[in-house]
């Protein structure tokens, strides 16, 4: 740990803290239908879309209609992306002449981008044509992000309204999110990245002569535009296999900072949008505080673990002053690599600028555990907000009875129906993560995946299913996941993690919206103070901890104590 390292971490989080509120307020204006400075330019385009699609933008949808619209949209998105990948060999913009993508790989990839996971079973620079990257993957980077945000806004409206059925219109929310929020921000970020040295070209590669005098072929392409939305939409699917560790995705400290900022700004911004839309800003601050406390703690834990290095390596004569530098880029250093690992897993982004597989056991447990906490810190764009609201509902219910009233959150009474649906939603995590990991750990096809043996190999499997279920997409790289077994199993995990969560969550929204909003009084369970922040943190930690403690004990925790005892994996 160094002073500069701490300064880097503090500066970064301060930057997010300053910029997220205005972004959140802007998003609130967009979703509440207020005019913004972008309206003169974009409103005609927005109307044009509605006219083309025959959408009545004033017509509200109840939760069922909203979910059905979202599901239909997703099915069409999946089929078109799958077809594009399968037929890319014969389609234009394929300068490298890549062949078609195999069925299981195309299935996995289509699900992956549909669900905002961006798990990359493929290696971008050697698999995907420019058309697949631009018209397939990048388009879904926008749409999956916009879908998540739209759903979160629908849930927000449920809390804001009293005795209503309508939660807004999916098509309108989707269009406005893409047009007014994601596109403008991506363009600005992409331009900044281009200025700082990212390539943006339709050329497939350049041949260069290196300093050693060797000829090398460097893959290129429309990188900057994809990286901007990859970070902003917490997608995480890089242009190159090495993701943000690749010098063309993030050549220097400035691009690293911008990419890290883009990763958090919407997630945190949405908490301010939430506070604004429910008419009580403090409620938004509380959610932001919960996210921030856990996320910053994760960053610090990872930084401490990584700076401490590996005693076995130190004993072998390696200078430990830089910490554990295996799998890290020197241009980013330990502090920003650890922080990146925390924020990319606290959100469901999954972009990486260092290899989590090479972290120390506890350093690597941080990203793993952050994913397993449910991807709510601040989680995927939109999905993090609706995720943390489900936790807030559970926290309110468990502790809320203690004030002697039927628990209520934002004036809405939490009853058996909400509890049933909330429980159904949080059950998805153990079902998918623990269930599928256990299956993989038993079957030969699963056991063939990990590169390492012992607890680290186990961590690689656990991480893959955690990442897929959390729609994160980052990997403990040691796992060979491009097999049909993992392609299919992980696609199932991604589907469960996204849609099996969304449906009960939206049913909660439907039920909450129809409830009467009770006025706040001294007897009301307070959800706008630090006590509630602590309570939600406790619920998130205990829920996550209780579910995954045995699995973590068999993976990183066992590995950590073995490392401390000077043992190598068996």
Partner 1 sequence: MIAKAARKASAFDSSLLVRAVGDAFLKLDPRKLARNPVIFVTEIVTVLVTILAVRDLFSGGPLWFSGQIALWLWFTVLFATFAEAVAEGRGKAQADALRRTRTQGQAKRLSDPKNRGRFEKIGSNALKVGDVIIVEANDVIPSDGDIIEGVASVNESAITGESAPVIREAGGDRSAVTGGTQVLSDWIVVRITAAPGETFIDRMIALVEGAKRQKTPNEIALDVLLAGLTLIFVLVVVTIVGLASYAGAHVSVTTLVALFITLIPTTIGGLLSAIGIAGMDRLVRFNVIATSGRAVEAAGDVDTLLLDKTGTITFGNRMADELVAVAGVPPRDLAEAALLSSLADLTPEGRSIVEFVNSKAGIKNPDLGGKKVDFVAFTAQTRISGADIDGVPYRKGAVDSVLAAIGATAPPDFAAAVERIARTGGTPLAVAKGKQLLGVIHLKDIVKPDIKERFAALRAMGIKTVMVTGDNKITAAAIASEAGVDEFIAQATPEDKLSYIRKAQEGGRLVGMCGDGTNDAPALAQADVGIALQSGTQAAREAANMVDLDSTPTKLIEVVEIGKQMLMTRGALTTFSIANDVAKYFAIIPVLFVSTYPELKALNVMGLNQDTAIISAVIFNALIIIALIPLALRGVKYRPLGAAAVLRNNLLIYGLGGIIAPFIGIKLVDLFVNLFV
Segment near partner 1 (CB under 8 A), from 20-28, 100-108, 314-322, 557-565?
557-565
Residue 111 vs 395, nearer CB to partner 1: 395
- Pick from 269, 457, 544, 556 the residue near partner 1 by CB under 8 A: 457
Question: Contact between 317 and partner 1 (CB under 8 A)?
Answer: no
Segment near partner 1 (CB under 8 A), from 30-38, 95-103, 127-135, 425-433?
425-433
Per residue, what are the HEC states of 499-544?
HHHHHHHHHHHHHHHHCCCCCCCCCCCCCCCHHHHHHHHHHHHHHH
Provide the minimum distance between the beta carbon of 515 and partner 1 in the complex, in angstroms, as a whole number.
9
Question: Contact between 59 and partner 1 (CB under 8 A)?
Answer: no
Site pattern 160..199 for partner 1 (x: CB under 8 A)? --x-------------------------------------
Strands 408-409 and 412-413: antiparallel
- Pick from 69, 182, 377, 414 the residue near partner 1 by CB under 8 A: 414
Segment near partner 1 (CB under 8 A), from 1-9, 113-121, 307-315, 432-440?
432-440
Question: Contact between 32 and partner 1 (CB under 8 A)?
Answer: no
Residues 191-208, buried b or exposed e (16+ Cβ, 10 A)? ebbbebebbbeeebeeee
Please tell me the distance from the alpha carbon of residue 131 to that of residue 93, in angstroms, as a whole number: 5
Of residues 380-409, which lie at the interface with partner 1 (CB under 8 A)?
Answer: 394, 397-406
Question: Contact between 330 and partner 1 (CB under 8 A)?
Answer: no
User: Which residue's entry shows tokens 């979910």?
Assistant: 67
Number of residues that bind partner 1 (CB under 8 A): 68
Provide the minimum distance between the beta carbon of 346 and partner 1 in the complex, in angstroms, as a whole number.
22
Please tell me the distance from the alpha carbon of residue 462 to that of residue 81, in angstroms, as a whole number: 28
Provide the minimum distance between the beta carbon of 87 and partner 1 in the complex, in angstroms, as a whole number.
39
How far apart, in Å, are the Cα atoms of 195 and each of 224, 251, 483?
10, 11, 39
Q: Two tokens at 280? A: 């009580």
Question: Contact between 270 and partner 1 (CB under 8 A)?
Answer: no
Of residues 471-530, which lie at the interface with partner 1 (CB under 8 A)?
Answer: 516-519, 521-526, 529
What backbone torsions phi and psi does residue 539 show, to the nearest 5 degrees? -65, -45
Provide the minimum distance between the beta carbon of 312 and partner 1 in the complex, in angstroms, as a whole number.
13
Provide the minimum distance between the beta carbon of 394 and partner 1 in the complex, in angstroms, as a whole number.
8
- Pick from 489, 535, 537, 540 the residue near partner 1 by CB under 8 A: 535
Contact assessment for residue 263 and residue 217, using Cβ atoms and an 8 Å cutoff: no
Q: Two tokens at 111? A: 């699900």
H helical segments located in 347-483: 361-372, 383-400, 416-429, 436-442, 444-447, 454-469
Residues 30-67, buried b or exposed e (16+ Cβ, 10 A)? bbeeeeeebeeebeeebeebbeeeebeeeeebbbebbb
Question: Contact between 279 and partner 1 (CB under 8 A)?
Answer: no
Please tell me the distance from the alpha carbon of residue 54 to that of residue 73, in angstroms, as a whole number: 15
Sign of the torsion angle spanned by Cα atoms 523, 524, 526, 531: positive
Q: Two tokens at 432? A: 């998918």
Segment near partner 1 (CB under 8 A), from 125-133, 195-203, 241-249, 538-546?
538-546
First to last CA, the chain: 30
- Pick from 131, 183, 431, 503 the residue near partner 1 by CB under 8 A: 431
Contact assessment for residue 351 and residue 230, using Cβ atoms and an 8 Å cutoff: yes
Provide the minimum distance between the beta carbon of 414 and partner 1 in the complex, in angstroms, as a whole number.
7
H helical segments located in 244-349: 253-277, 281-308, 311-315, 333-346
User: Which residue's entry shows tokens 């999110």?
Assistant: 177
Please tell me the distance from the alpha carbon of residue 351 to that of residue 332, in angstroms, as a whole number: 14
- Pick from 214, 330, 442, 444 the residue near partner 1 by CB under 8 A: 442
Question: Contact between 416 and partner 1 (CB under 8 A)?
Answer: yes
Q: Two tokens at 120? A: 């990359």
Segment near partner 1 (CB under 8 A), from 43-51, 151-159, 345-353, 419-427?
419-427
Question: Contact between 545 and partner 1 (CB under 8 A)?
Answer: yes
Contact assessment for residue 48 and residue 291, using Cβ atoms and an 8 Å cutoff: no
- Pick from 131, 438, 500, 503 the residue near partner 1 by CB under 8 A: 438
Question: Contact between 24 and partner 1 (CB under 8 A)?
Answer: no
Q: Two tokens at 198? A: 């990212």
- Pick from 434, 479, 494, 495 the residue near partner 1 by CB under 8 A: 434
Segment near partner 1 (CB under 8 A), from 25-33, 77-85, 322-330, 537-545?
537-545
3-state secondary structure of 251: coil
Residue 46 vs 280, nearer CB to partner 1: 280
Name which of 222, 461, 253 is nearest 340 in CA terms: 253
Segment near partner 1 (CB under 8 A), from 149-157, 178-186, 339-347, 413-421?
413-421
Question: Contact between 290 and partner 1 (CB under 8 A)?
Answer: no
Q: Is 453 exposed, middle or buried (0-12, 13-18, 19+ CB in 10 A)?
A: exposed
Binding site for partner 1 (CB under 8 A): 162, 394, 397-406, 411, 414-416, 418-420, 423-424, 426-427, 430-431, 434-435, 437-439, 441-442, 447, 454-455, 457-458, 461, 516-519, 521-526, 529, 531, 535, 538, 542, 545-547, 549-551, 553-554, 557-558, 561-562, 564-565, 567
């Amino acid at each position: 740990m160094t002073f500069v390292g701490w300064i880097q971490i503090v500066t970064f989080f301060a930057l997010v803290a300053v910029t997220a509120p205005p972004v959140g307020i802007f998003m609130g204006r967009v979703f509440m239908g207020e005019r913004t400075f972008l309206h003169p330019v974009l409103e005609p385009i927005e109307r044009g879309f509605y006219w083309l699609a025959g959408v009545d933008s004033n017509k509200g949808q109840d939760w069922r209609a909203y979910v059905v619209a979202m599901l239909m949209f997703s099915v069409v998105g999946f089929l078109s992306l799958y077809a594009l990948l399968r037929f890319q060999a014969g389609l234009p913009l394929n300068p490298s002449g890549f062949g078609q993508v195999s069925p299981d790989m195309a299935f996995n990839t289509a699900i992956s981008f549909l669900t905002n996971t961006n798990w990359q079973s493929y290696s971008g620079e050697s698999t995907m044509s420019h058309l697949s990257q631009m018209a397939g993957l990048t388009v879904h980077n926008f749409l999956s992000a916009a879908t998540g945000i739209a759903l979160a806004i629908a849930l927000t409206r449920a809390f804001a309204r009293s005795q209503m059925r309508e939660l807004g219109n999916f098509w309108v929310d989707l269009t406005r999110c893409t047009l007014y929020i994601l596109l403008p921000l991506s363009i600005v970020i992409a331009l900044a990245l281009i200025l700082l040295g990212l390539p943006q070209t339709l050329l497939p590669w350049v041949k260069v002569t290196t300093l050693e005098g060797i000829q090398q072929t460097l893959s290129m392409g429309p990188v900057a535009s994809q990286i901007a939305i990859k970070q902003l939409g917490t997608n995480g699917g890089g242009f190159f296999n090495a993701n943000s560790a690749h010098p063309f995705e993030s050549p220097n400290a400035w691009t690293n900072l911008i990419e890290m900022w883009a990763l958090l700004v919407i997630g945190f911004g949405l908490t301010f949008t939430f506070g604004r839309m429910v008419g009580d800003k403090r409620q938004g601050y509380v959610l932001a505080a919960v996210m921030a406390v856990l996320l910053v703690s994760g960053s610090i834990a990872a930084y401490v673990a990584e700076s401490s290095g590996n005693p076995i390596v130190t004993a072998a004569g390696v200078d430990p002053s830089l910490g554990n530098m295996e799998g890290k880029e020197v241009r980013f250093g330990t502090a920003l690599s650890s922080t990146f690992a925390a924020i990319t897993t606290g959100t469901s982004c999954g972009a990486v600028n260092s290899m989590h597989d090479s972290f120390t056991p506890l350093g690597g447990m941080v990203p793993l555990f952050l994913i397993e906490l449910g991807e709510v810190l601040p989680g995927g764009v939109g999905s993090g907000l609706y995720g943390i609201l489900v936790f807030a509902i559970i926290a309110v219910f468990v502790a809320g009875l203690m004030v002697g009233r039927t628990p209520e959150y934002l004036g809405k009474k939490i009853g058996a129906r909400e509890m049933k649906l909330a429980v159904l939603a949080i059950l998805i995590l153990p079902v998918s993560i623990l269930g599928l990991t256990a299956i993989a750990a038993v079957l030969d096809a699963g056991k063939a995946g990990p590169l390492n043996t012992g607890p680290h190999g186990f961590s690689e499997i656990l991480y893959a299913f955690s990442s897929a279920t959390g729609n994160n997409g980052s990997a403990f790289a040691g796992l060979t996941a491009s097999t049909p077994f993992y392609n299919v199993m992980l696609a199932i995990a991604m589907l469960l993690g996204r849609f099996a969560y969304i449906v009960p969550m939206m049913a909660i929204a439907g039920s909450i919206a129809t409830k009467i909003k009770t006025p706040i009084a001294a007897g009301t369970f307070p959800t706008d103070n630090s006590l509630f922040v602590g309570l939600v943190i406790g619920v998130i930690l205990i829920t996550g901890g209780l579910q995954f403690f045995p699995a973590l004990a068999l993976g990183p925790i066992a590995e950590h104590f073995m490392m401390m005892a000077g043992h190598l994996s068996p």
